[in-house]
Structure 1
């Protein structure tokens, strides 16, 4: 099999060891004679899988006991609607930090159900930075404050946790969860789609402080009420069982690698390799993101001569460096280097970038 380095923004690369284990267990999970895909979610086998996945995630993130860990379907997109229905009473205002595409998508959906106050926005510079917190215009009695900790398209990442100022702090952590330690106790809720750093598409995780549950609007659909999942151990209905199984294997893999702190050290090293290639290119490559807010997960860059884009991508693909085309809304290139991307992949990309710049520069 040809080895490739997959820089896709999501669904993204999974640890090779995890894929091999999935392959080995595909037809017979632990001697049960069943694939995880065909076993009852109410049976003891899947009960063990679910319990271990939750326990391992709690260990990795040091999740306090007064938080519920929920496994859901619908990705982060569905939760954009669930947030106001569960946490914002009719007529209330919610605060948002707008740092890019996913912030904007969430704002549009939340505004269907609540008043939205944009406390700060980086749209004035094409979403290339995190607005200084001292400039934020907050609502004193906001139902919650929301931010996206890592914008995959613009490559902008928060390097700190914002002050909540007495309101629940809610974070879309889809693209950098498990990539660095976070103090969960500072949040009212963290949510994330799994398909970037935790597993395959089709499963999402929500970590909700227990006191926020049970306050949903009376007309909230049962399947959009977080309490439905909390009261039933994530199994109000049939959960995304296979996705939870793979996510659980990823959690075990991260634990074996030394936990989240060890992943952070690796992620810093990986990102530095690619940023160094950009910064040393004498303008051949350009990263639009403010230096202090550069993402460790998603690295966008452009070529000074856009007419070379296709040649760059073709050369990369010939070297088995895949999925480097930038998002259609911004163009250029993007290297997504989540936890499962090995250092060797980042080095291979940097070597190719240096080679291409010398050849075409």
Structure 2
């Protein structure tokens, strides 16, 4: 493969107000300098688009820095080394890194992590089942919420990449019952037929608290929250004493222009002895070895199933992200970089 000397990239042009549009970004071509000592150049194969990126478009302090204007946005990605001045990362090595939103990445070898091939599985697995997505599900369910065998688990946004992983890990770890919510009847059917959920409901078809009670008449013990809003309020109502929630996301309010009101029933945290704990994966990277030990053989054997919605072409990355935010994905939303070649 002839090494590329340029990189097509998505830059943030201005800070969005409300729902981002194509006016807020710019797709540009940037010339790359020759490699310095210990640097590598990587042809990306897949890049990840995720809901948390909406927060990074705002100029506010968070657990990750905001995107800079007129600079390439970053994101999780996998690719192969096409040129190297590093003895540790030879040409052809599969690597994972954080220079997404572009077709070609370049930098010091320390910014790229070598990954082993998983037989019969595309490299995109390191962005989904064996990536931040899978680890978010594993850490949230087992470390943050402390799920125990026999627990009844409720997952919001359950047909998404993280949610579908949570449900399966709960089942594999011996949960008593797993319940999920999703935004279409097709996704609801997928939860029970493919991902092994015991029950699921379409949150757009009625009041969430009522549907959750019907699905879990004996209450829930663990809630994995990807949505916030009425789902969190419903979970608090449904919790048994000592219930635990892993607060992972609040996609229902990401594009709101003003603060959304919180759950009206927070006093139940006191009477029921509930624990609601938020988390972000950078603080739990020390669990990665255990995560890989458990999940890699499950993925390789097919015992753990996962879906990816793949959009072809790096030039379609922003559209893929918009589609993700509208819920037009099943499982992990990814961009196959060379799909437009």
Q: Taking structure 2 as the reference length, what is the TM-score of the superposition?
A: 0.31
Q: Taking structure 1 as the reference length, what is the TM-score of the superposition?
A: 0.29
More helix by share: 1
Higher relative contact order (CA 8 A, sep 6+): 1
More strand by share: 2
